[in-house]
Amino acid sequence: MAQLYTPNDIEKLQADIPYLVETWNWLRNFLAQSHPDLGRMGTVCPYMPKALNLNYIRLKVIRSPNIDHQEVSEIVLTYLNAFLELEPTEKDEAIYKTIVLIFPDIPHEDAPRIIDVVQKQLKPLFVESGLMLGEFHNYNETPGLHNSDFRPLRSPLPMLAIRFMVESDLPFLQNAEDPLYRIKYLQAYLKRFHQNFKDKNRMQTASQALELAHKQIKGDNLLMPKVNQCPFHKIY
């Protein structure tokens, strides 16, 4: 059956359209295009042109005045399973599937302390599910992989994007400062691709990074003081 709209639906749609159009133009005219500051050949996002052509991008405008990071976190979590169940689910085509959650009520200057905090908080859960959660806003200072002066994650509106992990995501997983998170990310990465690595160098790099993270944890534990060896800590 064709989509039927109530008057309230139409009113909401009218309010959302400017943000949907602005995001759509950014996807087509920035992420799906090359850029002179990118530092490599190709488009800013290598998967975006085909994702757009296949019609696999879904956009959702989230309206909530005075929204905070806890509310954003709860909203984003509701889309984790929804993403996994969303068509297509076949692996070859599913990598082009993306959900973009747009938060126009978050002021630009507040985006780092809301969008970035939520992304950092939820990233372990998404990675363990074989997914990536990307943070985008106008104040994003994350540098490009091939040009440290380029800012590929800047967007006209605050948003969080959900997509499947791909093999080229390794740099985003092995750079976690906390070795415990690094271990979780690399284990999830190797589990997802261990049977079908297209680039064996990435498998080797991920395995070596995982081994180093384990050694770092072991080394940190050896450096910790063993309080039980101190006579002043005996129980009388």
Same domain, 65 and 176: no
Same domain, 182 and 116: no
Judge whether 70 lies within some domain. Answer: yes
Same domain, 156 and 89: yes
Same domain, 94 and 136: yes
Task: Per residue of the chain (236 residues), give pLDDT as tens.
Answer: 678 999 999 999 999 999 999 999 999 999 999 999 999 999 999 999 999 999 999 999 999 989 999 999 999 999 999 999 999 988 789 999 999 999 999 999 999 999 999 999 999 999 999 999 999 999 999 999 999 999 999 999 999 999 999 999 999 999 888 989 999 999 999 999 988 888 889 999 999 999 999 988 887 665 555 544 443 333 32
Q: How many domains does the chain have?
A: 2
Task: State whether the Cα torsion 112-115-118-121 is positive or negative.
Answer: negative
Same domain, 173 and 142: no
Same domain, 197 and 141: no
Same domain, 213 and 103: no
Same domain, 161 and 181: no
Query: How are beta strands 98-102 and 57-61 bridged, if at all?
Result: parallel
DSSP H or E stretch at residue 99: strand 98-102
Residue span of the structural domain in which 180 resides: 167-236
Angle at 38 between CA 91 and CA 199, to 5 degrees: 40
DSSP H or E stretch at residue 164: strand 159-164
Domain boundary among 117, 141, 165: 165
Report the SS3 class of residue 143.
Answer: coil
Of the candidates 77, 84, 79, the residue with the CA atom closest to the CA atom of residue 60:
79
Same domain, 184 and 98: no
